[in-house]
Structures are given as structure tokens and as C-alpha cells.
């Protein structure tokens, strides 16, 4: 799978560790930065990841910041993005099954690294349910974007 990743300075450590895990598992990671702990603005990185997902260069995206909140808010402003901030594997599974989320958000200051790795696996391994009621609700989200 091709996965775009992006983060602010508050989550560089987790991004690099999760990227390493994914690459060791045979996935291709498109790393949109940042790679340092020098202060940056998370909306810029939310957009960089979203662009890769919307252009279909990446199948899914993962964004990270200190809490995961700022970067998920920013990603969800971008038309076509459904970004789920997850702190456990149930949320990750359900945001794929029900919301067809195309970007996962994680927080380095709020969620342990092992839990984040499990969340990533649940997110990338779970397909959208294609359930009619979920399709209908996603269509209504798309209406809100207009
Ligand atoms: C950066 O200081 C911090 O605000 C950011 O990583 C994130 O937690 C915002 O939601």
C-alpha cells in the first residue's frame, strides 16, 4: 500500500518510527515532512498529505501532531478529506468501516507509540463497509462541502 505521512514538530519522533515500521512491512511511504523539531505550522503539513491522497498518489494518509487535533481539524477543511483522529483501534476500525476515512490522525503527546502502531494497522487493514446507510451519510458530508 502507498501511504502518505505528514507531521508537525510535535510528532516527528512518532512519524519516523511509524514510517520505519510501515516500510519494514513492505509499504511505500510518501513522507511529506517535517523531519525536524523546528517549529512549523501543522496546516501546511495537513495539506501536503491531503494532496497526495486526493491525487491518488497515496492510497491513504497519516497525519500527526502533538495531540492530533490541530492537524485533523486542518485536514478536514480540505474538500474530499475525511480525517479520523483515533486514540484506540476500535476508532480506527470504525472510521474506515463507517466513515471511509482516507486520513488517520494521531497525537504524539496523547497516545503511546505501541497503541499508535496498532491503530495504524487497524486503519490500513480495514476496508470501507460499503453499507448503504454509510454511503448515504458520506454523500451528505459531500453535500456539506458545497
Ligand atoms: C504544536 O505546538 C502543537 O500545537 C501541535 O502539535 C498540536 O498539538 C496542535 O493541535
Q: Ligand 1 centre and the CA of 70: distance in Å?
A: 6
Phi-psi region of 37 (alpha: psi -120 to 50; beta: other; left: phi over 0): alpha
Task: Give the number of domains in the chain.
Answer: 1
The whole-model pTM stands at 0.98
Predicted local distance difference test score (pLDDT) of residue 124? 98
Among 27, 98, 121, 134, the active-site one is 98
Domain containing 94 equals 2-144
Is the Cβ atom of 46 under 6 angstroms away from ligand 1? Answer: no
pLDDT, tens digit (0-9, with 9 covering 90-100), for 48-75: 999 999 999 999 999 999 999 999 999 9
Average pLDDT, the chain: 98
pLDDT, tens digit (0-9, with 9 covering 90-100), for 24-56: 999 999 999 999 999 999 999 999 999 999 999
Report, as an integer, the average pLDDT of 121-141: 98
Among 32, 49, 65, 86, the active-site one is 65
What CATH number is given to the structural domain containing 77? 3.40.1400.10
Amino acid at each position: 500500500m502507498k501511504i502518505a505521512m505528514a507531521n508537525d514538530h510535535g510528532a516527528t519522533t512518532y512519524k519516523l518510527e511509524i514510517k520505519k515500521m510501515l516500510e519494514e512491512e513492505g509499504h511505500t511511504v510518501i513522507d511529506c515532512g517535517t523531519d525536524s523539531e523546528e517549529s512549523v505550522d501543522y496546516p501546511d503539513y495537513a495539506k501536503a498529505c491531503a494532496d497526495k491522497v486526493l491525487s491518488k498518489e497515496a492510497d491513504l494518509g497519516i497525519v500527526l501532531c502533538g495531540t492530533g487535533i490541530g492537524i485533523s481539524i486542518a485536514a478536514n477543511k480540505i474538500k474530499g478529506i475525511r480525517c479520523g483522529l483515533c486514540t484506540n483501534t476500535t476508532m480506527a476500525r470504525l472510521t474506515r468501516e463507517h466513515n471511509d476515512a482516507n486520513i488517520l490522525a494521531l497525537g504524539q503527546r496523547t497516545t503511546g507509540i505501541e497503541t499508535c502502531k496498532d491503530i495504524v494497522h487497524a486503519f490500513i487493514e480495514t476496508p470501507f463497509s460499503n453499507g448503504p446507510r454509510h454511503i448515504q451519510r458520506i454523500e451528505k458530508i459531500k453535500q456539506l462541502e458545497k
